[in-house]
Amino acid sequence: MSHSIRWTLYGALAACCAVASATVRADGPPPMLVPLPPVDAEEIPAPPPAPLPRPESPDELYPAVESTGSTCEMCGQGSTSCCEACRNTTRLGRLLRGIHRGLCCPDPCYNPKWTPLADAAFFTTAVRPTNQQRFRWDFAEDLNQPDRAEFFWARADGNGAGPNPNPQIAFRGVDYDELTHYVEAAQGAVGVWFEYSYRSLDADGRHFAGFGDMTTGAKTLLFDTELMQFAFQMKTFIPQGSPGKGLGTGHVSLEPGFVWGLRLSDRAFMQAELNEWIPLGGNDVYAGALLRYNVALNRELFRLPSGVLIMGVGELNGWRFQDGMFTDPTLGALRPASGDTYLNTGGGVRMYFCDRADFGVSGSFAITDEAWAQSTVRTEIRFRY
């Protein structure tokens, strides 16, 4: 018998045995249920329910921003937690409330930094100190009263330290070029600077050239918010140039002042300053104080695809004489300087290659009968670091 037939018979026999065994189990008595052991009837307390997760509080959803020296805890909350009782409705009241909050409860999310929009003017000082140096070239024509109050020249009628008049030719004004180098160092809200100049001028058919007076100063930012900034500055004019050649005044001068900045929009900014120029040690008759003020409106014109920013600037510059004398350019006689006002206006364009460098050109023109110069052209290039 072959092996395949043998294994087939073995399989059939095993199947018959399995069917018979199942039939016997089905015909037998049902299986008996075995009772479980008795359970103690004492009640077992259920465990306490687990506490539900606590929903996140607003402080966890919006964590407080750390603020040193401020009672504010949230970005932009400088208007609520600082002065709960302040609910002024008048314009003056809202202004005073905003100043109070800016000083005592500043927004901790405000990031004070230099911006091109706030530092575009040519004749008006910027409110924020910054690390920079500047090269400036001025060209001015027809300055008819250069020794007025000894602001530009010392007394120049032959009895002072300024240039003596030329007896062979009538005085026809002064044309000058002046190159200045300005260096400023800043740390936070405080900045210091110095500036020196080289002047070349033509007056009465004569030519003079040489280094002029030096200026040093310091500036402190007193109020700094996203909307408005306010600073105090002090300048000191140190005599270095020869007064007999018209390169300096021959005396020390101080100029304390205030600088102001106001953000009008994302693309417009206003700069302003108010200074009191005080001569020290000048001629007793000629030297006199004056009030100097400047206002500038900066406007972003357009931005090139490369990131270069073009800014337009319009400015108004004024000098209000409070004391002193000047030499009449026609008669050569002494005239009082007090009570007169010089006004200039003009505009310029500044190109910002990036935050570190810019170049600009501006013009200023007299709008009063008497002025320092009938026209002034100013060119600047600045580097920040």
Among the residue ranges 55-64, 238-247, 252-261, 308-317, the one predicted with the least confidence is 55-64
Give the Cβ contact number of residue 69 at 10 Å.
Answer: 8
Helix boundaries (H) for the chain: 3-27, 58-61, 91-104
Residue 168 has pLDDT above 70, yes or no: yes
CA-to-CA distance for 105 and 108, rounded, in angstroms? 9
Q: In angstroms, rounded to a whole number, what is the distance separating the alpha carbons of residues 295 and 282?
A: 29
Which residues on adjacent β-strands are paired with residue 203? 174, 206
Query: What is the DSSP annotation of 172-205?
Result: --EEEEEEEEEEEEEETTEEEEEEEEEEEEEETT
Is 3.40.640.10 the CATH number for 116-384?
no
pLDDT of residue 20: 47
C-alpha 155 chain-centroid distance: 40
* Placement of tokens 């395949």 in the chain: 4
Percent of the chain predicted with pLDDT > 70: 77
Location of structure tokens 């030096």: 214
Tell me where in the chain the CATH 2.40.160.40 domain(s) lie: 116-384
What pLDDT digit, counting tens, does each position of 203-240 carry? 988 999 999 999 999 999 999 999 999 999 999 999 99
Distance between CA atoms of residues 49 and 234, nearest Å? 72
Does residue 275 have a pLDDT over 90?
yes
Residue 104 sits at the vertex; the CA angle it makes with 99 and 110, to the nearest 5 degrees, is 80
Instruction: Tell which phi-psi region holds residue 240, choosing left (phi > 0), alpha (psi between -120 and 50) or beta.
Output: alpha
Look at phi and psi of residue 205 and say left if phi exceeds 0, alpha if psi is from -120 to 50, else beta. left
Do 360 and 333 form a contact (C-beta atoms < 8 A)? no
The answer to whether the CB of 288 falls within 8 A of the CB of 152 is no
Quote the mean pLDDT of the chain. 85
pLDDT recorded at residue 174: 94
Q: What is the mean predicted confidence (pLDDT) over 310-317?
A: 98
Given a cut of 60, whether residue 202 has pLDDT beyond it is yes
Indicate whether 66 pLDDT > 80.
no
Residue type, 362: S
| Per-residue tokens: 176 | 């000058």
pLDDT at 42: 58
278-297, pLDDT tens digit by residue? 999 999 999 999 999 999 99
* Residue pointed to by tokens 């953000």: 263
Whose tokens are 């200045």? That residue is 180
Q: What 3-state DSSP class applies to 9?
A: helix
Q: pLDDT tens digits for 104-113? A: 888 888 889 9
Residue 320 has phi, psi (to 5 degrees) of: -115, 115
Long-range contacts of 178-181 (CB under 8 A, 24+ apart): 178/137, 178/138, 178/140, 178/212, 179/135, 179/136, 179/137, 180/134, 180/135, 180/136, 180/138, 181/133, 181/134, 181/135
Q: Whole-model pTM?
A: 0.76
Confidence of residue 319 (pLDDT cuts 50, 70, 90): very high
193's torsion region: left (phi>0), alpha (psi -120 to 50) or beta? beta
